[in-house]
Structure 1
Amino acid sequence: MKKSLAMLLAGAMVVASLTACGSGKKETTAETTSDTTAESAESKTVSDGETYKIGVLQLTEHAALDAANEGFVAALDDSGISYEIDQQNAQNDQSACQTIAEKLVNDGDDLILAIATPAAQAVAGVTTEIPIVGTAITDFADSGLVESNDAPGENVTGSSDLTPIKAQISLLQKVLPEAKKVGVLYCSAESNSEIQLQMTKEACTAAGLDVEEFSVASSNEIQSVVESAVGKVDCLYTFTDNTIAAGMNTVTMVANENNLPVICGEQGMVEAGGLCTYSIDYYELGYIAGEMAVKILKGEAEPATMPIEYYPEEKCEFVGNEETAKLLGIDISGLE
């Protein structure tokens, strides 16, 4: 009887051991961040393969940057990779950019997307190891992010939103043939705006147009600065400046009330009340950045040897605001 009892106990132990081995499957979940600067954190997983951790630092909220973000995520989804993404927005606050950049690096992300120049500069200043893909950045090299746009050299690469400034100034002359003096509206705190300002001056000089600068240091100055331009210039031109783009409703509120046309740098600015532009597609720009990120994550390429990619100028499309044109009494038909 003792022998039989011992055999029964041994059998029970074997069954228990097998049951324990069968319950060892792990499930991967994503936690939503509680950081006050976080917008969201979500997980995209598949049944097999590695799950990558991706951090996103977006400078601020406006149509162009939001579209670039959406395009980036769409490229990740289309690639079929498994990933966990942490979306963070600095609300156009440089100190928040720095704080978020440090957080993403400390989290040990596999790759970080930086949307807009100040965001990329903040992240690049914190890590030289984690791959950084930037987008909505005019000139990576002039902004000190890479050694050269053709050969970045370190851990940063991405897609540029360099706009067709010459084409936009040419459009300005087509729409406003009587214009002689152009007011250029921009934020002096953005390095990419300084780059575009010089390009604008050159384009206007070549077109025989005089330029007067109207700069703001922050969004709080937009209304008063635009008001100061009324009566001094024939129109306003603003390129892809993030501060101005985020405050475009204020720009057009003042400008349109005073019959001052605004030629813009991209589609979102036109939709916010600007007159017209030849615009790049920021969704596609973000998608390009997403494709670059996938190659880096899969080990198919390294940022150091990935040239900066540009949105083809020939794909830029005319965008006009018919409501604004009607309000200003300007004909923009036939410009498509």
Structure 2
Amino acid sequence: MSQTTQAHAVRRELPGRSAGQLSESTLWSILTIESAAPEPEHRDWGDAVIRRVAVPLSAQARAWGGYRFGFTRNPAPDHPAVHLHLRAAEVVVGRAWKFARTLADGNAAALGPVKLSTPIDIVYPPLPGEPVPELMEATFARFGGEHGLKLVAEVSELSADLAMWAVNRFPGPSMRSTLGALLLFDAAHAMMRGRRSALWPDRRATSWDYYWNAHLQACIGASGQPAEHVRRAMVARMAPRIMPMHRVMAALASEPAVDLWRKRWGQAIDLYLYRADKQRVSRSAQRLTMAASGLMLNRLGISLREEATLGLYARAWSKEAEAHYSGEG
């Protein structure tokens, strides 16, 4: 008997659309996979979903003509879930989600019992004059509306590919956290010192300290705890750990594959911000960079609280420090 069960969810379609119109439209579809066990048997349950479902599904969806594939995680240990996102024609969406169920069933020994939601389908982009789907409002606000979301698509796809690679390359969370610290640094450095950074004054108007203060505030503020108290305690606690962590970061940075991914990530952020400025996206360079970085770390399986800690390591990192620890300076 299959261990995959259907979770209750509502299939959402915009009003006024016939089934025929919907089938000819591009959908933004979301399928959620969550553990049906009271407690997952292992901490890396979300990693197993990404390895065994998201990775093969991504390749197959692209082969079938999917435009964009991505995922996000709910890292809560008491309710782990992976949300798969696919933008494609309806026929491709249907095939992809059927394949996802097949993958979940075929990997029951590794995943345990899981629940797959009824897909949430949104016709996207909405036609002129039609309201923004409620489910998209927060995403629009985060990235600066429809144009902003379109611009971040390439960065998002790269971060999904990078995360899938990292989950396979680094099965344990420790090295992935180290990679996360490097990627946080690379994004901030690309914003302020990227090849095109001088073309948008806003990218260089933010100081290094201000950026990381804002990053820390965003991470610990979202945790619902008194931000200033948490910030002071965290800075005091983590200060002695920065140098040892930097040695690990340097060792990881010396790996050729890691170096290649970091360069691609930094170049993607630089180009993304250049295009956002040209399109006059109504968000600051800092806000766009932090949003893209946050999505990247979520996909690596890093919580907001851990991201705050990694930001302290990234803040104290520099190109000069990397050269020094690598024996090049």
TM-score category, normalised to shorter length: under 0.3
The normalised TM-score by structure 1 is 0.22
The normalised TM-score by structure 2 is 0.23
